[in-house]
Amino acid sequence: MRGADIRDTTAVEDRHWWYRERRALLARELRRLPAGPGRRAIEIGAAGGGNCLVMRDFGYQVLATEFLPEGVEIARARGLDAIQADARDLPVDSASRDLLVAFDVLEHIEEDDRAAAEIHRVLRPGGTALIAVPADMRLWSVFDELSGHVRRYHRAGLTALITGAGLRVDALRSWNVLLRPAVALRRTASVRPSSEAALRHDVTAVHPVLNALLGGIVRLERGLPVGRLPGVSLVLRAHKP
């Protein structure tokens, strides 16, 4: 992700189906966790801090970390505590966080094992990690290349990465299962973005009718037993023993 990507997505995330439904997914996961004052959370790859706002609404003291300065600037403008940081070397005390969120981050990092080790290090015993990544190399396309992805993940590989860092996986499910056929078709179509700017336009410029339709399909998925079927993304919840 580039600075321009962060600015563009921040401008549309309140209404764009993907970002809105991803924040709804985060909120559902947060409802599973113990409530109480003084809980501390960190997000790695926070971009402009949209997910951090959700965590703050749930009562967390949140630190947004972002590799790009543009994201830090936007997050601070939204009233968040934000710092520039590399996910492979977080400037955060060990065993200091109750919750860590990493949504669509690990796929950008060549040494994802180092990032996973940092996730383990900063969580306190009993702390929770919520991780989302793009699924399945069979969906690999120019979209991944222009987005700066190193890989897409299979269930076994993601599980091995997280357990290898010392965390225990509590749940692993697919997300955007119902939309997978459309995504696969779109990514093999002849018309493809030729630059990062074209990709940003393709992602953010969604017609309101299509935006409502796609959001409705993802919401429909919430009540269906499709989490073990192939999807566009994987969502993992783990804890530090």
> Over the stretch 113-130, which tens digit does the pLDDT of each residue have?
999 999 999 999 999 999
Looking at residue 10, its pLDDT comes to 79
pLDDT at 190 over 50: no
Show the CA angle centred on residue 75, arms to residues 169 and 219, nearest 5°: 50
Task: Read off the pLDDT band of 152 (50, 70, 90).
Answer: very high
Per residue in 30-88, pLDDT tens? 999 988 789 999 999 999 999 999 999 999 999 999 999 999 999 999 999 999 999 99
* Contacts of 215-222 spanning 24+ positions with Cβ under 8 A: 215/17, 215/20, 215/21, 217/178, 217/179, 218/17, 218/21, 218/176, 218/178, 218/179, 219/21, 219/24, 220/178, 221/175, 221/176, 221/177, 221/178, 222/28
* Residue 239, beta-bridge partner list: 128, 168
Out of 88-102, 115-129, 133-147, 154-168, least confident range = 133-147
- Sign, Cα dihedral of 102, 104, 106, 109: negative
Interatomic CA distance for residues 241 and 238, integer angstroms: 9
- List Cβ neighbours of 8 (8 Å cut-off, separation of 6 or more): 200, 203, 204
Dihedral sign, CA of 54, 58, 59, 63? negative
How far does the chain reach from its first CA to its final CA, in angstroms?
32
**Which two structure tokens, joined as six digits, stand for 23?**
């924040």
User: Which pTM was predicted?
Assistant: 0.92
Q: Which helix (H) or strand (E) holds 27?
A: helix 17-31
Write down all domains in the chain, each with its CATH number in brackets: 3-239 (3.40.50.150)
With b for 16 or more beta-carbon neighbours within 10 A and e for fewer, the 148-174 pattern comes to ebebbbebeebbebbeebebebeebbb
**Cα separation of 152 and 229, whole Å?**
16
